[in-house]
Amino acid sequence: MKLKFWGVRGSIPSPGEKTIRAGGNTTCLEIRADNNELIILDGGTGIFPLSQTLLKELPVTAHIFNTHSHWDHIQGLPFFIPIFIPGNLVKLYGAFDPVSNEGPERIMNVQLQYSYFPVREAEMKCRFEYITIMPNEVVVIGTAKVTPILLNHPVINLGYRIDCNGKSIFFTGDHEPHFNIYEPGEDGYDDYQELIEEQTQFIVEAIRGVDVIVADSAYTIKEYPSKKGWGHGTFDSSIKLARDAGAKILYCTHHEPTRSDDSLEKVFAEVLSRHSDYVGGPDIRLAREGVEIVI
């Protein structure tokens, strides 16, 4: 399999000279399975430059898996060029939303209302399919198997494990480690803690042994207390997840939009320094636009 990063920024695009090394586009990952099947994880603004590269291989069949419906993970979808070209097939996979009682179709029909976008949903020229998926329900895409895993965010968020011929990748989307809403000694604390531990262990087992984890690492451990409950992880929580799961490589992503390249690299160096005495994996890396690896 091949993995390429097209967007690694969180919350809002952050273009400019201060973010040029890591990149300013919001979340989008391209995965190519062994028979070149195209799997795209999230449709942040990074999906637009990705779509420009697809024009040389028309007609395109694209499988887009949405982690969740927050803007930074969907705002590039109306600019995904293949949807306007006849002969292409685009499938958008996503969770059922218990608030709206709709599936991934809402992602496009809300954005493509004429009040907000000059092109309406009916004007898409490709064959476009919406597929509602459930946690732990495997989707087969040619040589690859995609498994959605329910994670922790203020809306339904599905992380995705992709397995292909013995190799594997896991992407968290946006994920905050589960935390106890009760204080120690309060009624409910012990029961809730037991539930948290079960949920945490389930996630670890679901992704155990993956080759690559791409994880939400928006904050430092110093920043996290003021952001608790916002639905994002830290560099340290991502490292712990990767270690517990026995992953070989960890890419830290969803970079804070106000963090310049210099600041991001300084923070990352401090994280690596604090974990330098740990024996064993994973290889810890910063996700950057344009980085491509083969596993």
pLDDT at position 150, please?
98
| Beta-strand pair 283-286/249-253 | parallel
pLDDT at position 185, please?
92
Bond from prior residue into 282 cis (ω within 30 degrees of 0): yes
pLDDT at position 83, please?
97
Longest CA span, the chain: 62
pLDDT at position 281, please?
84
106 three-class SS: helix
What is the pLDDT tens value at each position of the chain, 295 positions in all? Answer: 999 999 999 999 999 999 999 999 999 999 999 999 999 999 999 999 999 999 999 999 999 999 999 999 999 999 999 999 999 999 999 999 998 999 999 999 999 999 999 999 989 999 999 999 999 999 999 999 999 999 999 999 999 999 999 999 999 999 999 999 999 999 999 999 999 999 999 999 999 999 999 999 999 999 999 999 999 999 999 999 999 999 999 999 999 999 999 999 999 999 999 998 887 889 999 999 999 999 9
Phi/psi of residue 292, nearest 5 degrees: -130, 135
pLDDT at position 280, please?
82
pLDDT at position 279, please?
77
- Name, in order, each residue with C-beta under 8 angstroms of 130's C-beta and a sequence gap of 6 or more: 91, 92, 94, 103, 104, 105, 108
Could you tell me the residue ranges of all domains in the chain? 2-294
Phi/psi of residue 249, nearest 5 degrees: -135, 135
CATH superfamily of 2-294: Ribonuclease Z/Hydroxyacylglutathione hydrolase-like (3.60.15.10)
pLDDT at position 103, please?
97
Which residue in 218, 239, 238, 220 sits closest to 230, CA to CA?
218
C-alpha 117/C-alpha 101 separation (Å) is 24
pLDDT at position 267, please?
98
pLDDT at position 95, please?
97
Structure tokens at 246: 């026995």
DSSP-derived secondary structure for 190-203: HHHHHHHHHHHHHH
pTM (whole model) above 0.85: yes
Residues recorded for the chain: 295
C-alpha 34/C-alpha 2 separation (Å) is 8
